[in-house]
Amino acid sequence: MSFTNKKIIAGNWKMNGLKNDAWKLTNDLLSKFESPDEKLGFEMIICPPATLLSEVVSMVDGSPIKVGAQNCCDKLDGAYTGEISPVMVKDIGANFVILGHSERRSYYGETNELVAKKAEAALNQGLTPIICIGETLEQKENGSALAVIEDQFLNSIPENATIENIIIAYEPVWAIGTGKVATLQDIIDVHTKIREVAEKKFGSQNISILYGGSVKPNNAKDIFSLKDVDGVLVGGASLKADDFWAIAMASV
Protein backbone atom coordinates (compact mmCIF):
# COMPACT_ATOMS: atom_id res chain seq x y z
CA MET A 1 0.00 0.00 0.00
CA SER A 2 1.48 3.32 -1.04
CA PHE A 3 0.65 6.72 0.46
CA THR A 4 2.32 8.97 -2.07
CA ASN A 5 2.71 12.55 -0.82
CA LYS A 6 0.55 11.92 2.26
CA LYS A 7 1.85 11.75 5.79
CA ILE A 8 0.72 8.73 7.82
CA ILE A 9 -0.67 9.54 11.27
CA ALA A 10 -0.93 6.28 13.19
CA GLY A 11 -2.15 6.03 16.76
CA ASN A 12 -1.24 3.10 19.02
CA TRP A 13 -3.69 3.02 21.91
CA LYS A 14 -1.72 0.18 23.55
CA MET A 15 -3.58 -1.56 26.42
CA ASN A 16 -5.88 1.36 27.09
CA GLY A 17 -9.60 1.88 26.75
CA LEU A 18 -12.96 0.27 27.48
CA LYS A 19 -15.99 0.40 25.19
CA ASN A 20 -17.12 3.82 26.41
CA ASP A 21 -13.61 5.23 26.01
CA ALA A 22 -13.37 3.91 22.46
CA TRP A 23 -16.79 5.31 21.60
CA LYS A 24 -15.89 8.78 22.89
CA LEU A 25 -12.39 8.94 21.43
CA THR A 26 -13.46 7.67 18.01
CA ASN A 27 -16.47 9.97 17.87
CA ASP A 28 -14.32 12.92 18.92
CA LEU A 29 -11.94 12.16 16.05
CA LEU A 30 -14.75 11.68 13.55
CA SER A 31 -16.22 15.03 14.57
CA LYS A 32 -12.99 16.73 13.42
CA PHE A 33 -13.75 15.86 9.81
CA GLU A 34 -16.07 18.34 8.11
CA SER A 35 -17.62 15.55 6.03
CA PRO A 36 -17.40 11.73 6.15
CA ASP A 37 -15.49 11.57 2.87
CA GLU A 38 -13.27 14.60 3.45
CA LYS A 39 -9.89 14.24 1.74
CA LEU A 40 -7.04 15.65 3.77
CA GLY A 41 -3.32 15.70 3.20
CA PHE A 42 -2.70 12.81 5.60
CA GLU A 43 -3.80 9.23 6.21
CA MET A 44 -5.08 8.52 9.73
CA ILE A 45 -4.83 5.03 11.24
CA ILE A 46 -5.95 4.13 14.76
CA CYS A 47 -4.89 0.90 16.47
CA PRO A 48 -7.10 0.05 19.46
CA PRO A 49 -6.80 -3.04 21.68
CA ALA A 50 -8.13 -6.25 20.15
CA THR A 51 -11.26 -6.12 22.32
CA LEU A 52 -12.27 -2.85 20.66
CA LEU A 53 -11.33 -3.57 17.05
CA SER A 54 -14.80 -4.61 15.90
CA GLU A 55 -16.47 -1.63 17.54
CA VAL A 56 -14.01 0.90 16.14
CA VAL A 57 -14.11 -0.61 12.63
CA SER A 58 -17.90 -0.23 12.64
CA MET A 59 -17.71 3.35 13.90
CA VAL A 60 -15.24 4.57 11.26
CA ASP A 61 -16.89 2.77 8.35
CA GLY A 62 -17.27 5.23 5.47
CA SER A 63 -14.90 7.76 7.05
CA PRO A 64 -11.29 8.60 6.13
CA ILE A 65 -10.02 6.86 9.30
CA LYS A 66 -8.47 3.41 8.88
CA VAL A 67 -7.97 0.79 11.58
CA GLY A 68 -5.08 -1.47 12.56
CA ALA A 69 -4.43 -4.15 15.15
CA GLN A 70 -1.55 -3.94 17.62
CA ASN A 71 -0.28 -7.46 17.02
CA CYS A 72 -1.13 -10.76 15.36
CA CYS A 73 0.01 -14.37 15.43
CA ASP A 74 2.23 -15.91 12.77
CA LYS A 75 -0.22 -18.82 12.53
CA LEU A 76 -3.55 -18.64 10.72
CA ASP A 77 -5.61 -20.89 13.01
CA GLY A 78 -5.33 -23.80 15.40
CA ALA A 79 -4.48 -24.59 19.00
CA TYR A 80 -2.85 -21.29 19.95
CA THR A 81 -4.85 -20.19 22.97
CA GLY A 82 -5.06 -16.44 23.43
CA GLU A 83 -3.63 -15.56 20.02
CA ILE A 84 -5.32 -13.57 17.25
CA SER A 85 -4.51 -14.58 13.69
CA PRO A 86 -4.09 -12.20 10.75
CA VAL A 87 -7.12 -13.90 9.19
CA MET A 88 -9.19 -12.74 12.16
CA VAL A 89 -7.75 -9.23 12.00
CA LYS A 90 -8.62 -8.99 8.31
CA ASP A 91 -12.06 -10.54 8.84
CA ILE A 92 -12.94 -7.94 11.46
CA GLY A 93 -12.24 -5.16 8.93
CA ALA A 94 -8.82 -3.85 9.94
CA ASN A 95 -6.23 -3.18 7.24
CA PHE A 96 -3.03 -2.68 9.24
CA VAL A 97 -1.15 -4.40 12.04
CA ILE A 98 1.69 -3.13 14.24
CA LEU A 99 4.43 -5.74 14.54
CA GLY A 100 7.69 -5.90 16.47
CA HIS A 101 6.94 -3.00 18.79
CA SER A 102 9.71 -2.68 21.39
CA GLU A 103 7.22 -3.57 24.13
CA ARG A 104 6.55 -6.87 22.35
CA ARG A 105 10.27 -7.44 21.84
CA SER A 106 11.32 -6.59 25.40
CA TYR A 107 8.36 -7.82 27.50
CA TYR A 108 7.44 -10.91 25.47
CA GLY A 109 10.74 -11.90 23.93
CA GLU A 110 9.76 -11.40 20.30
CA THR A 111 12.72 -11.86 17.98
CA ASN A 112 13.40 -10.43 14.56
CA GLU A 113 12.67 -13.88 13.12
CA LEU A 114 9.26 -14.10 14.79
CA VAL A 115 8.38 -10.58 13.67
CA ALA A 116 9.28 -11.57 10.10
CA LYS A 117 7.02 -14.65 10.31
CA LYS A 118 4.16 -12.53 11.61
CA ALA A 119 4.69 -9.97 8.86
CA GLU A 120 4.74 -12.71 6.23
CA ALA A 121 1.43 -14.10 7.52
CA ALA A 122 -0.09 -10.61 7.68
CA LEU A 123 0.96 -9.79 4.12
CA ASN A 124 -0.50 -13.05 2.87
CA GLN A 125 -3.87 -11.92 4.27
CA GLY A 126 -3.71 -8.50 2.62
CA LEU A 127 -2.79 -6.59 5.77
CA THR A 128 -0.16 -3.85 5.77
CA PRO A 129 2.38 -4.48 8.55
CA ILE A 130 3.82 -1.50 10.42
CA ILE A 131 7.15 -3.06 11.41
CA CYS A 132 8.83 -1.36 14.37
CA ILE A 133 12.58 -1.12 14.84
CA GLY A 134 14.66 0.89 17.30
CA GLU A 135 17.65 0.90 19.60
CA THR A 136 17.86 0.91 23.40
CA LEU A 137 19.58 3.67 25.37
CA GLU A 138 22.55 1.37 25.99
CA GLN A 139 22.91 0.69 22.26
CA LYS A 140 22.66 4.39 21.50
CA GLU A 141 25.33 5.25 24.05
CA ASN A 142 27.76 2.51 22.98
CA GLY A 143 27.58 3.58 19.34
CA SER A 144 25.85 0.47 17.97
CA ALA A 145 22.48 2.06 17.19
CA LEU A 146 22.82 2.10 13.40
CA ALA A 147 24.09 -1.49 13.32
CA VAL A 148 21.10 -2.55 15.45
CA ILE A 149 18.73 -0.72 13.11
CA GLU A 150 20.21 -2.46 10.07
CA ASP A 151 20.02 -5.88 11.72
CA GLN A 152 16.42 -5.41 12.83
CA PHE A 153 15.39 -4.13 9.40
CA LEU A 154 17.01 -6.93 7.43
CA ASN A 155 15.86 -9.71 9.76
CA SER A 156 12.34 -8.48 10.65
CA ILE A 157 11.21 -8.14 7.05
CA PRO A 158 9.86 -11.26 5.30
CA GLU A 159 10.66 -12.43 1.80
CA ASN A 160 7.18 -11.52 0.52
CA ALA A 161 7.68 -7.86 1.51
CA THR A 162 8.09 -5.18 -1.13
CA ILE A 163 8.91 -1.51 -0.93
CA GLU A 164 5.18 -0.76 -1.32
CA ASN A 165 3.45 -3.25 0.98
CA ILE A 166 5.12 -2.53 4.33
CA ILE A 167 5.64 0.48 6.58
CA ILE A 168 8.66 0.88 8.85
CA ALA A 169 8.32 2.66 12.18
CA TYR A 170 11.53 3.89 13.81
CA GLU A 171 10.93 4.03 17.54
CA PRO A 172 13.99 4.61 19.71
CA VAL A 173 13.22 2.48 22.75
CA TRP A 174 14.58 5.13 25.12
CA ALA A 175 12.06 7.68 23.81
CA ILE A 176 8.88 5.60 24.10
CA GLY A 177 6.63 6.84 26.88
CA THR A 178 9.52 8.65 28.55
CA GLY A 179 8.83 12.18 27.39
CA LYS A 180 12.23 12.15 25.69
CA VAL A 181 12.30 12.67 21.96
CA ALA A 182 15.15 11.99 19.60
CA THR A 183 16.85 15.10 18.28
CA LEU A 184 16.08 16.04 14.70
CA GLN A 185 19.61 14.96 13.80
CA ASP A 186 19.05 11.57 15.48
CA ILE A 187 15.95 11.08 13.36
CA ILE A 188 17.73 12.19 10.18
CA ASP A 189 20.65 9.83 10.85
CA VAL A 190 18.48 6.77 11.47
CA HIS A 191 15.94 7.40 8.70
CA THR A 192 18.83 7.93 6.28
CA LYS A 193 20.30 4.60 7.42
CA ILE A 194 16.97 2.85 6.95
CA ARG A 195 16.73 4.15 3.39
CA GLU A 196 20.28 2.99 2.67
CA VAL A 197 19.44 -0.50 3.93
CA ALA A 198 16.18 -0.48 1.96
CA GLU A 199 18.21 0.29 -1.15
CA LYS A 200 20.34 -2.79 -0.44
CA LYS A 201 17.34 -5.05 0.08
CA PHE A 202 14.82 -3.70 -2.40
CA GLY A 203 16.86 -1.62 -4.84
CA SER A 204 14.93 1.49 -3.79
CA GLN A 205 14.91 3.94 -0.90
CA ASN A 206 11.27 4.83 -1.46
CA ILE A 207 9.87 3.11 1.63
CA SER A 208 7.41 4.66 4.08
CA ILE A 209 9.13 5.42 7.40
CA LEU A 210 7.30 6.67 10.48
CA TYR A 211 8.94 8.19 13.54
CA GLY A 212 7.61 7.21 16.95
CA GLY A 213 8.76 8.17 20.43
CA SER A 214 7.00 10.81 22.56
CA VAL A 215 5.46 12.56 19.56
CA LYS A 216 3.30 15.46 20.77
CA PRO A 217 1.58 18.52 19.28
CA ASN A 218 4.48 20.74 20.34
CA ASN A 219 7.16 18.77 18.49
CA ALA A 220 5.20 17.30 15.58
CA LYS A 221 5.78 20.16 13.14
CA ASP A 222 9.56 19.96 13.56
CA ILE A 223 9.47 16.20 13.04
CA PHE A 224 7.33 16.54 9.92
CA SER A 225 9.72 19.14 8.53
CA LEU A 226 12.32 16.41 7.95
CA LYS A 227 12.21 15.14 4.37
CA ASP A 228 12.79 11.49 5.33
CA VAL A 229 9.84 11.34 7.74
CA ASP A 230 6.72 9.95 6.08
CA GLY A 231 4.57 10.05 9.19
CA VAL A 232 4.43 9.28 12.90
CA LEU A 233 3.42 6.45 15.19
CA VAL A 234 1.89 8.10 18.24
CA GLY A 235 1.41 6.47 21.63
CA GLY A 236 0.06 8.43 24.60
CA ALA A 237 -1.00 11.49 22.60
CA SER A 238 -3.26 9.31 20.43
CA LEU A 239 -5.53 8.79 23.46
CA LYS A 240 -6.56 12.45 23.37
CA ALA A 241 -8.51 13.42 20.27
CA ASP A 242 -7.43 17.07 20.36
CA ASP A 243 -3.75 16.17 20.68
CA PHE A 244 -3.88 13.47 18.01
CA TRP A 245 -5.70 15.81 15.63
CA ALA A 246 -3.22 18.60 16.32
CA ILE A 247 -0.38 16.22 15.41
CA ALA A 248 -2.16 15.28 12.21
CA MET A 249 -2.78 18.91 11.25
CA ALA A 250 0.91 19.70 11.85
CA SER A 251 1.65 17.44 8.88
CA VAL A 252 -0.15 19.59 6.29
Long-range contacts of 27-34 (CB under 8 A, 24+ apart): 27/59, 28/241, 28/242, 29/65, 29/241, 29/244, 29/245, 30/59, 30/60, 30/63, 30/65, 32/241, 32/245, 33/63, 33/64
Which is catalytic among the residues 43, 110, 171, 191?
171
Is 191 designated active site? no
Give 192-228 pLDDT, tens digit per residue: 999 999 999 999 999 999 999 989 999 999 999 999 9
Contact between 96 and 68 (Cβ < 8 Å): yes
Query: Would you state the pLDDT for residue 34?
Result: 78
> From CA 78, how far away is CA 88, in angstroms rounded?
12
Cα separation, 99 vs 77, in Å, equals 18
Is residue 128 within a helix (H) or strand (E), and if so which, with residue range? strand 128-133
Q: What's the CA gap between 218 and 170, in Å, rounded?
A: 19
Q: How many C-beta neighbours within 10 Å does residue 59 have?
A: 20
DSSP 228: T
133/115 Cα distance (integer angstroms): 10
pLDDT at 2: 44
Domains of the chain with CATH codes: 7-249 (3.20.20.70)
What is the C-alpha separation between 234 and 119, in angstroms, rounded? 21
Which residues of the chain are under the pLDDT cut of 70? 1-4, 35-39
Query: For residue 60, what pLDDT is reported?
Result: 97
pLDDT of residue 13: 98
Set 101, 103, 110, 191: catalytic member? 101
The answer to whether the CB of 83 falls within 8 A of the CB of 63 is no
* Cα–Cα distance measured from residue 134 to residue 193, given in angstroms and rounded to the nearest whole number: 12
Does 171 qualify as catalytic in the annotation?
Answer: yes
pLDDT of residue 40: 81
pTM: 0.95
* 61 CB burial (10 A radius; 0-12, 13-18, 19+): exposed
